[in-house]
Structure 1
Amino acid sequence: MKDFQIVPTEDELNAMERDLSFHPSTNTSPKILTTQQVQQFNEEGYVRPLNIFDENEISEIRAYFDDLLARVVSGGGNSYSISSAHLKYGPVHDILTDQRIVDPVADLLGDNVIGWGSHFFCKMPGDGKAVAWHQDASYWPLSPSKAVTVWLAIDDADLENGCMKFIAGSHTKGHMTYRPSDSAEHNVLNQTIENPQQFGTEVDDPLKAGQASIHADLLLHGSEANHSDRRRCGLTLRYCSADVHADLGWNEKGVHVRGADPSGHWSDQPRPATQ
């Protein structure tokens, strides 16, 4: 299996014919979310906060991540390099497929859902790294744009330690022009969208450990650096409708988390044995 930590180049993405327009949820009878939350997702591009794991459960997940991070760092990685983790580590596969997360995602994406991404974004105390304003869809070789990110708080995330921020309603503005990030920005990623407030209202996304938010792949979002003495770790989980097409072999990292894949396009990767 190829190294899926490699982000497609701009030329590769530009060569693809992608439908980067928002496809609103048409679900009028959600099972977990309220109709108001589905409406909020359609209008503002996000739903928050969702209570997923209780204190004991998230404490166990945090202890697991602490050990995983120590192993990755000892192997030459860092707190941002644990990507496509569900393909490598059984416990992350378990989180990706946990029905308490999949249920609200299915309320937004429909009955056939693929889980395909998992990436820890862990800002260590005072590490000075920010996540510039961006759209997830800019980085993904997927079409049509029927995908969401679940941001699961492993630690408490607040303004002091660099929680996420959204630009409400920006997901309806289409794919936006970005520039390559300057090294002085200390950006974890490599794209920056200027003047984000022109696209909507800025909204903070503080979450307690065990809570999650869901946002559309076209929603403009980012986060400030962690200048506190507390860590801020989140696990991003990526899902899409099964009728989404993935180029560059990204369909190989899929897991069928709800329903079926009638096209047979997406792999259904088994749970890894590695802890």
Structure 2
Amino acid sequence: MNKNDFDTIPDREAIGSQPRVIDFFPTDNDSPQTLSSEQIAKWNANGYLGPLEAYTADAIASIRSHFDSLLAETLAAGRDSYSISSAHLKHTLAWDILTNERIVAYVSDLLGENVIGWGSHFFCKMPGDGKRVDWHQDCSYWPLTPSKAVTAWLAIDDADAENGCMEVFTGSHKHGLIDFAVSDSSTGNVLNQTVDHPERYGTASLTPLRAGQISLHSDLLLHGSSPNRSDRRRCGLTLRYCPADVHAYLGWNQKGVVVRGTALPSKWPGAKRPSH
């Protein structure tokens, strides 16, 4: 499978036809190495954790500079600022962030000693672009079973209410797969799903982050974000992880990188670091 095959939104019928176990699996970790026991308990209760420190101001400034060049190349090629997906398969910048030991250490405390990093997508809201991310659960887009995936959301720029930071409904991860309606880009939604009346499933919360911080959320957590109506860009890089015992359909195991511990090559053969 070509790395560019992962650039489009997955076909929901193909994913929906795969046999999957969709449920929240609480973390049972009596001796976390990086997170505290209180943070583990909060994760289990809320399906969300943050903010957590990942990069210093100087380090994230360097990452931002590299992303600025990547974004300029992307726009010059006629693509938009949301199109840089499966980035770790094509860009060393994203690969090195996906495999960053500090981020992996947080995730490993939630997922165990054998961890796969398999996804990376820049969600870059340009100043005043007017686009939003409607309420959704990540697991509805991913052909993985069981549903144990965790997303680390890295703030490349400062993210706040003015420029469209992520919003979550804590506790919604305990409701299994929630019914959604299909939407399209003509409505201003970056994705193609929306969940009505999300307040029925949890408690609304904004999740502002400073550049260099991350948050963590369950693949079953309802989340989204409002349009960026400010004069500042809001770029975040989503990093996707799962335990090595998770099964990936539709060739998605080809995207996986062993970032902690080991994995059976038959399940996760191991993508290679890109050359540029």
When normalised by structure 1's length, the TM-score is 0.98
- Give the structure 1 partner of residue 141 of structure 2: 139
Amino acid at match of 1:174: G
Q: CA separation in 2, counterparts of 1:159 and 1:25?
A: 30
Residues 1-275 of structure 1 correspond to what in structure 2 (within 5 A)?
A: 1-2=1-2, 3-181=5-183, 183=185, 185-262=187-264, 264-274=266-276
Q: CA separation in 2, counterparts of 1:66 and 1:14?
A: 36
Q: CA separation in 1, counterparts of 2:50 and 2:187?
A: 28
Tell me if the contact between 1:168 and 1:202 (Cα under 8 Å) persists in the aligned partners.
yes
- How far the C-alpha of 1:7 sits from its partner, in A, is 2.8
Amino acid at match of 1:80: Y
Per-residue CA deviation, residues 21-77 of structure 1 (Å, 9 max, x unaligned), is 001111111100001111111110011000110100000000000000001111121
Amino acid at match of 1:31: Q
What SS does structure 1 have at the residue aligned with 2:32? coil
Over the residues paired in the alignment, what is the CA RMSD in angstroms?
1.0
Per-residue CA deviation, residues 217-240 of structure 1 (Å, 9 max, x unaligned), is 000000000000000000000000
Q: CA separation in 2, counterparts of 1:137 and 1:33?
A: 24
- How far the C-alpha of 1:181 sits from its partner, in A, is 1.6
Q: Which runs of 5+ in 2 are unaligned?
A: none
- How far the C-alpha of 1:143 sits from its partner, in A, is 0.4
When normalised by structure 2's length, the TM-score is 0.97
Amino acid at match of 1:169: G
What SS does structure 2 have at the residue aligned with 1:270? coil
Q: CA separation in 1, counterparts of 2:94 and 2:69?
A: 13
Amino acid at match of 1:42: N
Tell me if the contact between 1:243 and 1:263 (Cα under 8 Å) persists in the aligned partners.
no
Q: CA separation in 1, counterparts of 2:8 and 2:61?
A: 31
Tell me if the contact between 1:96 and 1:115 (Cα under 8 Å) persists in the aligned partners.
yes
Q: CA separation in 2, counterparts of 1:185 and 1:161?
A: 19
What SS does structure 1 have at the residue aligned with 2:159? coil
**4+ long deviations beyond 4 Å:** none
What SS does structure 2 have at the residue aligned with 1:218? coil
- How far the C-alpha of 1:262 sits from its partner, in A, is 3.4
Higher mean Cα deviation, 9-18 or 228-237? 9-18
- How far the C-alpha of 1:182 sits from its partner, in A, is 5.1
- How far the C-alpha of 1:269 sits from its partner, in A, is 1.4
Tell me if the contact between 1:130 and 1:185 (Cα under 8 Å) persists in the aligned partners.
no
Tell me if the contact between 2:185 and 2:191 (Cα under 8 Å) persists in the aligned partners.
no
Per-residue CA deviation, residues 110-167 of structure 1 (Å, 9 max, x unaligned), is 0000000000000000000000000000000000001010000000000000000110
Amino acid at match of 1:129: K
> Paired residues, what number?
274
Tell me if the contact between 2:112 and 2:243 (Cα under 8 Å) persists in the aligned partners.
yes
Tell me if the contact between 2:133 and 2:190 (Cα under 8 Å) persists in the aligned partners.
yes
Q: CA separation in 1, counterparts of 2:186 and 2:80?
A: 20
Amino acid at match of 1:143: T
